[in-house]
Copies of this chain bind each other. A is one copy, B any other.
Amino acid sequence: MVQAIRIAIDAMGGDNGPATVLAGADIALVRRPELRYQLFGEERAVVPLLESYPRVKAASTFTHCDVTVQMDDKPSQALRKGRWKSSMWRALDAVKKGEADVALSAGNTGALMAMSKFCLRTMAGIERPALAAIWPTLRGESVVLDVGATINADAQQLIDFAMMGGAMARALLDIEKPTVGLLNIGVEEMKGLEEVRVAGQLLREADLKHLKYMGFVEGDDIGKGTVDVVVTEAFAGNIALKTAEGTARQISTHLRDAMSRTLMGKIGYLFAKGAFQQLRQKLDPRASNGAVLLGLNGVVIKSHGGTDGVGFANAIEVGYSMAKNDFLSKINQDLSDYHRAGFARGVAAIVDEGVM
């Protein structure tokens, strides 16, 4: 018998709430019949809709929650009103209690991060969580983290991110020993931030069993797929992610304008429709929907709030793979390798030695 993968879902999250969530749950279930859902939300909003998705209904339990975290609630506000009883909290709590393998929400990112930390706590040996994105590249996909959780990460935190990102690449991209790069800037004089340099030296020395440290990478290496895991602190990481999204949209707009401006362009478009279709798939942000909040005692997936059923199904698939491939034991393995290697107090030592 195939083991069930249990996903606890905040059915109220996202711009369209349950409509998108249930459509996505249905799509995912066709691909992965062993999925089991625990849906949390407002009864009146979810239950009637559930009737339209008999497959989802048969694979789910539903729990009514009085409180819904709003997209514009501040994290502190969301915690105050939504702790213990909101649909977002209850999904996280199901993971905490061991009743679900993964928690998933398309709701308010700040609230989800705050609640996740509060409910699930960070793993032993990890100081701060990181938000990891799956980034489509010329070679396939890479993991990029942190794209929004811990700004001003120090060297030790960057090393933690490297291990978490490595374990995620092993679980999700099925790479045995992922390559890891630290995002840095190439301007000679600067040589980047001190934290990045210290983290780099330690990762090189640690020579970990499950990841291959490749040195510094620059912004344009992300899209090239130079490494499987790109590590950075959240300010630069979030800006890189949003800038890439903006650039992709900009080029798509230019392309559409160019093709529709002349008759020849329109005719060419008709002939090359299949090619454009293929390009559209490559650029489809839904295909890489589902960021993972790493470093907690449990797997938490954040879906984009504005996605549709196809995108939400993708976020479920991310959660499915993380659970199926046992991300949590992989990251624990990496952490204990690292600590066994005696690098736990490495950062202070490096700085003291004045090597940098």
Q: Enumerate chain A interface residues (CB-CB to B < 8 A).
A: 74-75, 108-111, 113-114, 131, 137-138, 148-149, 151-152, 183, 185-190, 192-193, 218-224, 232, 234-236, 238-251, 253-255, 258-259, 261-262, 264-265, 267-276, 278-279, 282-283
- The answer to whether A235 and B185 have CB atoms under 8 Å apart is yes
Which of A108, A232, A241, A275 has the most chain B CB within a 10 Å cutoff?
A275
- The answer to whether B269 and A242 have CB atoms under 8 Å apart is no
- The answer to whether B245 and A248 have CB atoms under 8 Å apart is no
Which of A221, A247, A251 has the most chain B CB within a 10 Å cutoff?
A247
Take A235-B236, A244-B243 as given contacts and tell me if A274 and B270 are in contact as well, using a CB distance cutoff of 8 Å: no
Complex alpha-carbon distance, A254 and B218, angstroms: 21
- The answer to whether B235 and A222 have CB atoms under 8 Å apart is no
Take A188-B108, A279-B255 as given contacts and tell me if A223 and B247 are in contact as well, using a CB distance cutoff of 8 Å: yes
- A223-B247, A247-B248, A259-B275 given. 17 additional CB < 8 A pairs? A75-B189, A110-B188, A111-B188, A138-B250, A138-B253, A148-B185, A151-B192, A219-B241, A219-B242, A251-B283, A264-B271, A264-B272, A264-B275, A265-B271, A268-B270, A268-B271, A268-B272
Complex alpha-carbon distance, A273 and B299, angstroms: 48
Q: Which residues of B contact A192 (CB under 8 A)?
A: 151, 235
CB distance from A224 to the nearest CB of B (A): 6
Quick one: which of B186, B222, B272, B282 contacts A272, CB cutoff 8 A? B272
Take A113-B189, A238-B187 as given contacts and tell me if A275 and B265 are in contact as well, using a CB distance cutoff of 8 Å: yes
CB distance from A356 to the nearest CB of B (A): 15
Q: Which residues of B contact A259 (CB under 8 A)?
A: 272, 275
CB distance from A253 to the nearest CB of B (A): 6
Take A271-B264, A275-B258 as given contacts and tell me if A188 and B243 are in contact as well, using a CB distance cutoff of 8 Å: no
Q: List 10 A-B contacts (CB under 8 A).
A: A75-B188, A186-B238, A219-B238, A219-B243, A219-B245, A235-B236, A236-B236, A243-B244, A244-B246, A268-B273
> What are the 10 A-B residue pairs with the smallest beta carbon separation, nearest first?
A268-B272, A219-B242, A110-B188, A220-B246, A268-B271, A110-B189, A223-B246, A265-B275, A219-B243, A223-B250
CB distance from A107 to the nearest CB of B (A): 11
CB distance from A292 to the nearest CB of B (A): 15
- The answer to whether A276 and B258 have CB atoms under 8 Å apart is yes
Quick one: which of B193, B247, B274 contacts A244, CB cutoff 8 A? B247
Q: Which residue of chain B lies nearest to A144 when distances are taken between CB atoms in the complex?
A: B243
Q: Which residue of chain B lies nearest to A282 when distances are taken between CB atoms in the complex?
A: B254
CB distance from A284 to the nearest CB of B (A): 12
- The answer to whether A218 and B189 have CB atoms under 8 Å apart is no
- The answer to whether B244 and A244 have CB atoms under 8 Å apart is yes
Quick one: which of B138, B183, B190 contacts A110, CB cutoff 8 A? B190
- The answer to whether A148 and B243 have CB atoms under 8 Å apart is no
CB distance from A7 to the nearest CB of B (A): 24
Q: Which residues of B contact A138 (CB under 8 A)?
A: 250, 253-254
